[in-house]
Amino acid sequence: MKKDIDLPEVSNVFMAVVKEYNEEFKCDDWNAYIINNKDVDLEMMLIVSKGYDEDKLLETAVLRHKIEKLPANSFAKVELMQPEVLKLTNFFNVTFFEGSKMYDKKYVFEKNTIKNGNLRTIAQLNKRGILVK
């Protein structure tokens, strides 16, 4: 049955984890963003995230997020990432509609890759972070 479902390849949609200064709490936060680098709007976006470490048998709760519409060439903050989960492998499974077609992609941030030494400028956000394509 699963083989009968046509899920086209996702392009120009990215996940990023960005380190940002939080003015309200006067500290640095790590935030996950979804980036739509397409010239079309994406609709009914569902994002499921989880952190885990298979070696230590650790895992976080599963978080679910919904974005009704992500306009063309835009981005949205998905979630605040607690410092404790940065040492884990973190994945974001993203499902959305572009027109009448459904797309699905899993973005993985391997354990210990979300750290200061891996920060790069992410042009779409004009911020420093880690980008997964």
> What's the CATH code of the domain at 127?
2.60.40.1600
Distance from C-alpha of 17 to C-alpha of 49, rounded to nearest angstrom: 13
User: How many domains are there within the chain?
Assistant: 1
% pLDDT > 90, the chain: 91
Q: What is the pLDDT of residues 32-56, one digit of tens each?
A: 999 999 999 999 999 999 999 988 8
Lowest mean pLDDT segment, chosen from 14-18, 56-60, 92-96: 56-60
Query: Does the pLDDT of residue 1 top 60, yes or no?
Result: no
**Banded pLDDT at 7 (limits 50, 70, 90):** confident
The range of the structural domain enclosing residue 85 comes to 2-132
Q: Tell me if the pTM is above 0.85.
A: yes
The predicted structure's pLDDT at residue 6: 73
